[in-house]
Amino acid sequence: MASPMIPPAAAPDFLKDHGWGGATIVPLAGDASFRRYFRIHDGDRTAVLMDAPPAHEDSRPFLGIGKHLVDLGFSAPRTLAVDLDTGLILLEDFGDDRVTPVLEAAPGRETAVYAAAIDVLAALHAHPAPDIAPYGPGELRREVRLFPEWYLPAVGLSEAPGYDAAWDAVWPDLLDATAADPVLTLRDYHADNLMLLDRPGLAGLGLLDFQDALVGHPAYDLVSLLQDARRDVPPALEAAMLTRYLDARGIADRDAFRAVYEILGAQRNTKILGIFTRLRDRDGKAGYVERHPRLWGYLDRNFAHPALAPVKAWFDASVPVAKRAAAWA
């Protein structure tokens, strides 16, 4: 079940030990993991307290990737204090201008904000990838297995033969392309995890939720941004931003890049259908399966690309239309 937004018992002592004694602790947010966030108020200064229970969350990757991003000049929250034994981390406060609500209030800013997000990705991908684990075949397979494990039972279906083989047929092209252009892949790069900051240039975009980063293909974070599970991204905006990225990085073989983009789109959207169902059925979290129709819309676009013919064939034969978006409308 979702954890209640009650500050952890260790928080007051942790804050006192690091110069924030007597500060007020206010619930800020939870997310799809076990992590919870609180805003800390101490006079005129604020910070964010991340509660990442060590029994469920390993915060070391978050700290390492955050430092890597800051060292490169990008805006990840700076770490103010850490206690890995309790899972408490005090972070720089980026304020309240998260991209999703900003664009809800000012939709006319959408193109400019997405252009900034693309420019950050292009700049990040110009740097060598750090020495972290690859987004390899084992992880890709594990993630798409979430669909038959959680989604299919939720709509009353059993897994038909050939699911794994269909995906195995599309991995080689993806893995070859990744080997040719490996980059730091943040893996949850979307509007809910981006903050607008009053800083110049690329530093004006704050980056959150990157603890699951791996070395992968540059198209993955593009898919995460432009086929956002949480908000509709118009196809015309998606196309324009893809072009902006390809231009920025000087990628010549755009057909090959687009094929990998669609493969990763299908992989990610299929995975999220499983994750969002699991969040409801195992973790008791509301507000996720309602997004399934949007994900199916993205999948339909992914499956239109010939690179996904084996996967599309399995879905066409095994998941009736009535068990897709219509089941959640």
Q: Which amino acid is at 288?
A: Y
Taking the CA atoms of residue 294, residue 291, residue 148 and residue 193 in that order, the dihedral angle to the nearest 10 degrees is 100
CATH code at position 33: 3.30.200.20
Residue range 272-281: mean pLDDT, rounded = 97
Indicate whether 5 belongs to any domain.
no
Same domain, 87 and 103: no
The predicted pLDDT at position 183 comes to 98
Indicate whether 130 belongs to any domain.
yes
Of 91, 107, 124, which marks where a domain is finished? 91
Same domain, 179 and 313: yes
The pLDDT tens digits of the residues spanning 16-54 come to: 999 999 899 999 875 656 889 999 999 999 999 999 999
Enumerate residues 6+ apart whose C-beta is below 8 A from 40: 15, 20, 23, 24, 25, 26, 46, 47, 48, 49, 90, 93
What DSSP element (H or E) covers 79?
Answer: strand 79-83
Q: Which amino acid is at 285?
A: K
Enumerate residues 6+ apart whose C-beta is below 8 A from 287: none
pLDDT band at 1 (very low <50, low <70, confident <90, very high): very low
Q: Where in the sequence is the domain holding 111, given as residue range(s)?
A: 99-327
Same domain, 244 and 150: yes
Cα–Cα distance, 71 to 203 (Å, whole number): 12
The pLDDT tens digits of the residues spanning 213-237 come to: 999 999 999 999 999 999 999 999 9
